[in-house]
Amino acid sequence: MTVYSPASSAYYTGGIGTAYLFYITTNTDGADPAIVKPDEQNRYWNTNTSSANWNEPDEGKDAKGSSSARFPDGRLTVKVTASDQAGNKGDRSAIIILDNFQPFRIGTELTLKSIDVFRDTWTFGSSSGSYSYTASGPGKITNTEEHILRLHFSEPLQDAPTVTFGSDVDVGGFTSSDDDRNWAASLKVKPEAVNGLRPLSVCVQGCKDLAGNPLLAIGKSEVTLKQPRRDSTGAWIDEHVVGTDTRSQIAVCILEVNASFAQTPTTDSTHKLTVGFKYGKKAQKLKAVLFSRRFGDVV
C-alpha cells in the first residue's frame, strides 16, 4: 500500500494531529512526486507473488505459472477498511480483473458413464518453472453413446470455448463451473463416423480470458510449456504463439471389422472369407470374398 506524501494537497493538517485522507492500494512507479514510492516506505502489493511467498518485491520470486500464483488470474475482490482513533470503521469493496498470465487449456477429460475414455493434464513443476504434459486412458471412442467432454482452463474465460472434432461428431453446448474455469458439454459420434486418430481442436475464436487474451496455440507434439507471464513493466516473458490448441489427440474407432474364415480340407479347395462392417450397433454384411488357393499360391 502506498500513501500520499505530506507535500501533496491530499495530505491534511489541521485541528488535533494530522491525518492521511487518501490511500492508494496498488503499486506505483514513483513518477508522481505527490505519491510515496513503494520501495521507500515498503508499502506495495505484488499481485504476482508465488504461493510460497508473501508479497515479495523480488521479481525473481514471482510465480512462473498460474498454478503457483498466490493470486490467480481472474476476478478478485479488493476490500479496503479504514478506522479512526475513536474506533469508527468503514469499508469499501471492488471487483478487479487480475492479468498476469496468458490463458491455456490445462486439462481435458472425456468420460462415458463416469469411466475415463481420455484424460490429459499439464502439471506445473516448481523447480523447472514449466508445465509437463501427460495423457492417460484408452484414448479412443468406440461407440456412438453420449460422452461427456470436460475442458479445464488456467483461468476464467469470457465465453464458452469452440470445439471442433470433425463434422461426424456432435458437440453440445458448453456449461461452466468454478467461475468459468471449467466447461462441460456432451459429445456424440455419428454412426457413419470415419475411423482414425484426430485432434480435439479447441479454437480460440470467441475464447479469451477476462482481460481479452486469447488461448495459447499448443501443438500435438509439445510436452513442455512455459506459460507467458508479465514482468514488472507489463511486458510478456516466455511469449508463445496463440491460435488453435490441438494437443489432445483422440482416436475414433466406431467402425468395427469382423471376419470369419471357412476352409474345406481338400488339396484343391475354395476358401470363403466373409467380412462384416459394424457401424455403432448396426451390423452390415457388405460382401463375401472367395479365394482359391492351390498348393500355397493365392489366385
Average pLDDT for consecutive 10-residue bins of the chain (299 residues)? Answer: 46 46 57 56 71 68 90 87 83 90 95 93 94 94 92 94 87 92 94 80 76 93 95 90 90 67 53 51 42 40
Give DSSP secondary structure letters for the chain. Answer: -EEB-TTSTTEEE-SSSEEE--EE-S---S-STTB--HHHHT----TTBBTTSSS---GGGB-SSGGGBSS-SEEEEEEEEEE-TT--EEEEEEEEEE-SB---EEEEEEEETTEEEEEEEEEEETTTTEEEEEEES--EE-SSS-EEEEEEESS-BSS--EEE--TTEEE---EEETTTTEEEEEEEE-TTPPPEEEE-EEE-TT-BBTTSPBPB---TT--EEPPPEE-TTS-EES---BS-B---EEEE--EEEEEEEEE--SSEEEEEEEEEEEETTEEEEEEEEEEEEETTEE-
Task: Give residue 14's domain range.
Answer: 2-98
Does one domain contain both 109 and 28? no
237 and 287 together in one domain: no
How many domains are contained in the chain?
3
Residue 163: name the closest of 188, 197, 144, 194 by CA.
188
Residue 66 sits in the same domain as residue 161: no
Q: Are both 220 and 195 inside the same structural domain? A: yes
Give the end of a domain, one of 67, 98, 129: 98
241 and 264 inside one domain? no
The confidence score (pLDDT) of residue 288 equals 40
pLDDT of residue 13: 44
Residue 83 and residue 167 share a domain: no
Handedness of CA 54, 58, 59, 65 (dihedral sign): negative
Residues 153 and 261 placed together within one structural domain of the fold: no
138 and 259 share one domain: no
Q: How far is CA 218 from CA 99, 157, 224, 245, in A?
A: 20, 17, 10, 5
Task: Please report the pLDDT score of residue 26 as a whole number.
Answer: 58
CB 48 within 8 A of CB 63: yes
Question: How many Å apart are CA 138 and CA 180, to the nearest integer?
Answer: 28
Residues 92 and 227 in one domain: no
Of 71, 98, 125, the last residue of a domain is 98
Asked if residue 179 and residue 71 are part of one domain, the reply reads no
Which of these three, 59, 76, 98, is where a domain ends? 98
Q: Are residues 186 and 280 in the same domain?
A: no
Looking at the fold, whether 285 and 230 belong to one and the same domain comes out as no
Is this model's pTM higher than 0.85 or not? no
